Structure 1
Amino acid sequence: MLQLVRRPRVRFVTLATLLTAWLPLVLIAALGIYRPAYLKFLTISTAPLAVTLALPLRPRQHRETLSRNLIRYSQWGALVLGLLFVPVWVSSLRNLYTNSAYARADYRGIAARISAEGGAEATVLLSAPNQWEVFTYYFHGSHVLPAPYHPTAEVAGAWIDGVLAATPPRLFVLYWGDAESDPQQHIERQLAQRAYKARETWIGDVRLSEYGLGLLEAEPPTQMQVRVGEWAQLEGVAIPEAAFHPGDIVPVTLFWQALAPPPERVKVFIHVMNAEGTLVAQNDAEPGQGFLPTTAWVMGETIPDRYGLWLPLGLPPGEITLQAGLYRFSGERLPVATGGDVLVLGRVTVQP
């Protein structure tokens, strides 16, 4: 290194800028950690690359160590490289200022929504640690928790148990970059078993999910024993007997059993109907919040399937009816043995 520094300054600067420009690309290739998201780290190469292109344009008094032909070739080379990069720069600037696909998620709007619906006491889980800085800039609650990075199932379960032990009044999760931070989705899988997902919205590239909490019944308090389709049976259901208010999340657990090997994947729907028979809320998903598809069911095994039902803010007081069923991806519903294609699960009282 000392010998390199003692060389003519121009040669040292040229070599240093070239090495710095190539370093991020070499490290990504050598370590085998390429991801499309990692291309942003190539911005580190921008400044040294610009210096390299500018070296042939340096003042004449600094060129005496180089031949006239070398100077001429390097100038032409810098010009050609600069022209080659112009379309890339123009495209990058256009994407930066006009292409919504390159815009960062609206964390200000996400924070405002969580504050309005859950208040400052809401618990917010961040699936990726590097969300902390930008999210907490807008959200000033004291219960913002970054999830562990690359957790095992045991670590994720213990962490979720610790979060839920505090019985948060509202639980929100910002899923972003979880393909990198939690590729096995252990955090989301644990929440599917321990909480009741009510709503999910994509805001840019952030998936905002809202969960309700409740007792995790292992057995159905209400027995039903109703066959749905040719191979599924609803063993029973768990619905709290307490009254609810608009804006609350009603936790519902369905207990399914496969009477035969399921031949296809289907979805579950739970509808909330008012006294006039109008649909006022619903939750549709594959069983287990997508982690227990029917094709993975084991014949004879009882499967607890948890859902949260968010009650609209303008819902008037009175009784609401909860209905459920199964439907194919085509939209066709599976018939219910008792008639029709809908099961009445029970009723819930809504108070002002």
Structure 2
Amino acid sequence: MRLPPLNVLLTASVLLGTSSACIVEAPGGASPEERRAATVAQVPPLSIRSGANLGGKVEVVGASVQPGRIPPGDQARVTVFFKVLQPIEEDYLVFVHLEDADGRMERMNVDHKPAGGLYPTTQWKVGETVKDEFVIALPPGASPRAINVWMGLWEPRNDARLPITNPEAVRNDGRGRLLLAQVPVGG
């Protein structure tokens, strides 16, 4: 199943076995229209619930992966919802690490600016929910059983991640990476 392109400036795609990441600068910050496009009034029903608290500033409400299984040679769209709990003083990137669930392939990064680069974290307003989308892709012939999708918020200037403040409540690696999903591979 081929997904249509995202209606954002940034589509982060990773081919397992080939690392690529794209960060797009948004000049001058988000306009009111861009802010409306990057936020949601109500989170839709989610296939993945999280509740991870990142640094007391953001809650990862949950996510969806469409389709829920990635055939080799195809792609899936991941949509993550962040609830803003406190003002954020730094511009964080969404870091995404894709790893073979069995550890047979090298980790791939899909780090990107949130909301397609249109809405930096320093502009997020307390109480709103920000929607972030990115695409993961598998080359033909890829053979992992499943892909682990690890994520969090990362500030590159200081190489600092927002820590997970409720690690006992969510699957994590103890180093600030949230296991958002394990996506099965196959047709």
TM-score by length of 2: 0.69
Q: CA deviation at 1:314?
A: 4.2
Q: What are the ranges of 5 or more consecutive residues in structure 2 without an aligned counterpart?
A: 15-19, 23-41, 168-173
Please tell me whether the aligned partners of residues 101 and 144 of structure 2 are also in contact (alpha carbons under 8 angstroms). Answer: no
Q: CA deviation at 1:263?
A: 0.7
CA deviation profile, 1:282-306 (whole Å, cap 9, x unmatched): 3111101211110111101011110
User: CA 1:243–1:170 in 2, change beyond 3 Å: closer, same or farther?
Assistant: closer
User: CA 1:279–1:293 in 2, change beyond 3 Å: closer, same or farther?
Assistant: farther
Please tell me whether the aligned partners of residues 266 and 327 of structure 1 are also in contact (alpha carbons under 8 angstroms). Answer: yes
Partner of 2:183: 348
Whether 1:316 and 2:143 are equivalent positions in the alignment is yes
Please tell me whether the aligned partners of residues 81 and 130 of structure 2 are also in contact (alpha carbons under 8 angstroms). Answer: yes
Matched letter for residue 44 of structure 2: E
Match 1:256 to one of 71, 74, 82 = 82
Q: CA deviation at 1:226?
A: 1.1
Partner of 1:198: 13
Q: CA deviation at 1:225?
A: 1.3
Please tell me whether the aligned partners of residues 192 and 288 of structure 1 are also in contact (alpha carbons under 8 angstroms). Answer: yes
User: CA 1:333–1:279 in 2, change beyond 3 Å: closer, same or farther?
Assistant: farther
Please tell me whether the aligned partners of residues 12 and 112 of structure 2 are also in contact (alpha carbons under 8 angstroms). Answer: no
User: CA 1:201–1:226 in 2, change beyond 3 Å: closer, same or farther?
Assistant: closer
CA deviation profile, 1:60-83 (whole Å, cap 9, x unmatched): xxxxxxxxxxxxxxxxxxxxxxxx
Partner of 1:284: 111
Q: Distance in 2 between matches of 1:323 and 1:201?
A: 15
Match 1:293 to one of 101, 110, 120 = 120
Q: CA deviation at 1:171?
A: 5.8
Please tell me whether the aligned partners of residues 220 and 237 of structure 1 are also in contact (alpha carbons under 8 angstroms). Answer: no
Matched letter for residue 332 of structure 1: A
Q: Distance in 1 between matches of 2:21 and 2:82?
A: 27
Alignment map for 1:219-230 (pairs within 5 Å)? 219-221=44-46, 222-230=48-56
Whether 1:265 and 2:101 are equivalent positions in the alignment is no
Kindly report the root-mean-square deviation, in angstroms, between the aligned alpha carbons of the 2 structures.
2.9
Instruction: Show structure 1 runs of 4+ deviating over 4 A.
Output: 199-202
- Identity across matched positions, percent: 28
* Equivalences, count: 153
Q: What are the ranges of 5 or more consecutive residues in structure 1 without an aligned counterpart?
A: 1-167, 173-189, 203-216
Q: Distance in 2 between matches of 1:170 and 1:240?
A: 9
CA deviation profile, 1:104-163 (whole Å, cap 9, x unmatched): xxxxxxxxxxxxxxxxxxxxxxxxxxxxxxxxxxxxxxxxxxxxxxxxxxxxxxxxxxxx
Question: Which structure's residues are more often helix, by fraction?
Answer: 1
Whether 1:303 and 2:119 are equivalent positions in the alignment is no
3-state SS in 1 of match to 2:115:
helix
Q: Distance in 1 between matches of 2:52 and 2:161?
A: 15
Q: CA deviation at 1:220?
A: 5.0
CA deviation profile, 1:271-325 (whole Å, cap 9, x unmatched): 2111333544331111012111101111010111101112234421412211111
Q: CA deviation at 1:239?
A: 1.6
Please tell me whether the aligned partners of residues 220 and 255 of structure 1 are also in contact (alpha carbons under 8 angstroms). Answer: no
3-state SS in 2 of match to 1:344:
strand
User: CA 1:242–1:315 in 2, change beyond 3 Å: closer, same or farther?
Assistant: same
State the structure with more CA Rg: 1
3-state SS in 2 of match to 1:276:
coil
CA deviation profile, 1:30-67 (whole Å, cap 9, x unmatched): xxxxxxxxxxxxxxxxxxxxxxxxxxxxxxxxxxxxxx
Partner of 1:3: none
3-state SS in 1 of match to 2:179:
strand
Alignment map for 1:25-36 (pairs within 5 Å)? none
TM-score by length of 1: 0.39
The range that moved more, 288-297 or 238-247, is 238-247
Match 1:335 to one of 145, 155, 163 = 163
CA deviation profile, 1:164-215 (whole Å, cap 9, x unmatched): xxxx94667xxxxxxxxxxxxxxxxx8129x95426789xxxxxxxxxxxxx
Structure with the larger RCO, 1 or 2 (CA within 8 Å, 6+ apart): 2
Q: Distance in 2 between matches of 1:273 and 1:327?
A: 18
Q: Distance in 1 between matches of 2:139 and 2:176?
A: 25
3-state SS in 1 of match to 2:111:
strand
